[in-house]
Amino acid sequence: MLLVDEVLRLNSRSTAEMTVDEMILLRVSLESSEAIKQYEYDNRPKRGGIRYGFVQLFLLYLYMECRKTTYRGVVRNLSDHECRCLMFPKNGGGVCRPPSPATLNHFVNHVLARITEDIGKEISKAVLAVRPDHAYTYTLDSTPMQASRYNFDADYHPHYEIRMDKAHMIMADGFPISMLHSNGHANDGPYGIPLVERMCEISPGMKAGEIHADGLYDAFLTYAYVYIHTGMMMRCNQGIGAVHSGFTDERIVEEYNGLWKKKGYDPHRKNDIDFMLRFLYKHGKEETVGMYLRDRSMDLDAKEGKTNARHVCETVHRAMKRWMAFDIFRIAKATKTIRVRCRFLCLQLLATLFKGYAET
């Protein structure tokens, strides 16, 4: 996928000020998407009737989300100039004819929803490929998606004092790579490994950098998984009074020696901590590896001071909620998950359109 040229990216990060003329800079990115091309090829229209292209409807939907309006509202308020910019087909009188609200609704919930994950992966791969030798700072965190107080499908969260769902995100230098949706009472911990799995799938040859996470992702298995699959030490924002497990290098050697009957055991590799950790992980000692790595992470925090970069997440989350309504107000339960995925895709595109969030 091609990204918007750095020279053309918008200095203003306000979607309220963004015009259709500026938004259609994303047309190049969308038209170069292999996922979109494949979908359009597999769903070629029959002869006759007005045909709205995937990119045309997607840009209209993005415009709707940026204006924080409804399907009917965005169609009703389109000017002739905006219809021409979006390249809607013309009727017999030569006037551009916008799609109906029902057409746009069907596109979002039944067409775009099918391939949001594929398009999102393409965008993330393209952003990370801009600087292949750069060691990114990855961040893991969640953000609330507020619901109406009358929406009894959403859980009431006593800490935030609102009804809400959660969006769990992993970012690279502030760019949102992937997102998982959960209910408002879900623990963050179980979503750490799936998010890292997605990151590894998107960028398998990543250069090791740092990964920082909220204290709710503080789990032995997550520490182990992150190290084995990325080579990075996870730095977690542990709470005050977090317990040090006491796992030293000598303890790892003892655990390694206990597996001397296992295939691949090499007594001459006892000074290679990385080899022993990977050997232990391979032979069912994931928790032991995680306890050791958590201790090393706490030692680094004590030595260097808490250098947790989670403030990047908080800054981007606030920016996203200014760009569009990243919440679940007035969304039906049946389409809630779909709309959240579609909105996250829109946020990824906007992050490539505005300067400062996906620098080249």
pLDDT tens per residue, the chain (360 residues)? 999 998 899 988 889 989 999 999 999 999 999 999 999 999 887 776 668 899 999 999 999 999 999 999 999 999 999 999 999 988 878 888 999 999 999 999 999 999 999 999 999 999 998 887 788 889 999 999 999 998 888 999 999 999 999 999 999 988 999 999 999 999 999 999 999 999 999 988 776 778 889 888 889 999 999 999 998 889 888 766 678 888 899 999 999 999 999 999 999 988 899 999 999 999 999 999 999 999 998 888 777 766 556 677 788 888 899 999 999 998 888 889 999 999 999 999 999 999 875 444
The structure's pTM equals: 0.91
The pLDDT value given to residue 298? 87
DSSP label at residue 107:
I
The whole-number pLDDT of residue 360 equals 40
Tokens at residue 328, please?
């679940």
**pLDDT at residue 50, rounded to an integer:** 64
Write down the pLDDT at residue 51.
80
pLDDT computed for residue 307 by the predictor: 57
Q: What was the pLDDT predicted at 215?
A: 84
Give residue 49's pLDDT: 62
Q: What CA–CA distance (Å, rounded) separates 88 from 97? A: 6
Q: What is the pLDDT of residue 308?
A: 56
Write the DSSP string, 145-190.
EE--TT-TTSEEETTTTEEEEEEEEEEETTEEEEEEEEETT--SGG
Burial letters 306-336, b for 16+ CB under 10 A, else e: eebbbebbeebbebbbebbbbbbeebeeeeb
> What pLDDT shows up at residue 6?
87
